[in-house]
Structure 1
Amino acid sequence: MMKHVTGSVLGGPLLAAAVMLSGCASNAVDLHYYLLHSPSHKPVSPTGQVSKQIRFEQLRLPDYLKQRGLAMQTGPATVYFSSQHVWAEPLNAGLLQSLTDTLWQQEQVQVLPNNIYKARQMPRVDLQIDDLIATHTSDVLLKGHYWVHYPDGESKVHRFDFRAALQQDGFEHTVVKMRELVGQLAADIGKNV
């Protein structure tokens, strides 16, 4: 004949396991969010004189920049992705917003969305980012190329490789340096459109 096992015999170990598992679940990871564009920049007067109008047609990023976590090169062939330091928005959206803001502030170049003034003739830009990363040699780099397609049908490719030295450790300082490099890219695009 089988004896009936009471709840108190099994209840003790199950209760202990449940308490241990709930303790593991309560250790939430503290996330730090970063924006590539700077919401605190004071805009140039909205009535400023527009020097040029352009349109970004395509913005391509390598797969490693499509990750949510910020990436940092830790050796000649290794990349670390942070699980606690993450982009607050997809990097392609942040990069486009940063370029749009900086082109207006530095060059008074107005970037028009693709769905506005479709018939208007203006230079179109296709942008390919190859790298945007802090490196193991204590610098940040922004490399790639862009094509400018002019209304007359001519197209030109422009390569870029901007670098800035890191003076501090940490992702926040890295993102500030990335913003500076995007500013250099915006100035380069502004002079070539």
Structure 2
Amino acid sequence: MVGLSACSTKPLDVNYYVLSPPKPVEHIKHKDDVRQVKLNKIMLADYLRQSSIAMQVAENQMYFSRQDVWAESLETAILSALLRDLNQNTTIQYSSYQSPDTHTDNISLTIHIESFHASDKSKVVSSGRYWLFDPIKPKKLEKPFYFSLTLEQDGYSHAISQQRQLLSLLAKDIQLELDQWNVTTSQH
């Protein structure tokens, strides 16, 4: 008698991560005297346009986890996180390109993210560039950015929370540049 045995493999447990946990929605009053900035669709490097969370494991090698994935598109998550950070403690109103009350005379902000990942060197990094364009002024601002933070704990959960902090640093940089840009362009 020949016995048959079936290969039984345990299904892969998938962990889903969000970049920013939901918070209560704060109603933002639009004021006519407040300068408005439209945040355009976030542009991502090709390797970031997938659900798997990326980790750099060598100078030129990336690892993509099949088990640890984003719960939503990274493009959408980054846009939401940046809008939340940009609209805190500012006199400028930031809105999404999807907002129905975005006007054509608003300053526009375009962001291209070239890297946004953890590394096996216990760091998270984010780099890219952003552009500010004001249709009223002839001058355009283009600025590269690079931010990194140290990972103090193991695991994707900590890495994701540190990546969220990278976006807060980017938002602060954008606000600072926009303030300086407005002063510079208004003097000419």
Tell me the C-alpha RMSD between the 2 structures.
2.5
The more displaced of 44-53 and 104-113 is: 44-53
Matching residue within 165, 176, 187 for 1:180: 165
Q: Which residue of 2 aligns with 1:6?
A: none
Q: Does 2:64 align with 1:81?
A: yes
Q: Which residue of 2 aligns with 1:53?
A: 36
Q: Secondary structure at the match of 1:183?
A: helix
Point out the structure with the larger helix share.
1
Contact 2:125 2:166 in 1 (8 A): yes
Q: TM-score scaled by structure 2?
A: 0.81
- Cα deviation for residue 43 of structure 1 reads 6.1
Aligned-partner Cα distance in 2 for 1:106–1:82: 37
**What per-residue deviation string (whole Å, max 9, x for no partner) do you get for residues 111-135 of structure 1?**
3233523545211011111111112
Aligned-partner Cα distance in 1 for 2:155–2:85: 24
Q: Which residue of 1 aligns with 2:174?
A: 189
Q: What's the % identity of the aligned pairs? A: 28
Q: Does 2:106 align with 1:122?
A: yes
Aligned-partner Cα distance in 2 for 1:29–1:67: 18
Aligned-partner Cα distance in 2 for 1:43–1:151: 30
Count of aligned pairs: 175
**What per-residue deviation string (whole Å, max 9, x for no partner) do you get for residues 77-127 of structure 1?**
211111111000010000000001111124354332335235452110111
- Cα deviation for residue 159 of structure 1 reads 1.1
Q: Which residue of 1 aligns with 2:115?
A: 131
Q: Does 2:147 align with 1:167?
A: no
Q: TM-score scaled by structure 1?
A: 0.79
Q: Secondary structure at the match of 2:42?
A: strand
- C-alpha change, 1:124 and 1:90, in structure 2 (3 Å) is same
Q: Does 2:73 align with 1:90?
A: yes
- Cα deviation for residue 190 of structure 1 reads 1.8
Whose Rg is larger?
Answer: 1
Aligned-partner Cα distance in 1 for 2:25–2:90: 12
> Structure 2: any 5+ residue segments left out of the alignment?
179-188
Aligned-partner Cα distance in 2 for 1:61–1:113: 16
> Structure 1: any 5+ residue segments left out of the alignment?
1-8
- C-alpha change, 1:71 and 1:117, in structure 2 (3 Å) is same
Q: Secondary structure at the match of 2:19?
A: coil
Contact 1:65 1:91 in 2 (8 A): yes
- Cα deviation for residue 44 of structure 1 reads 6.1
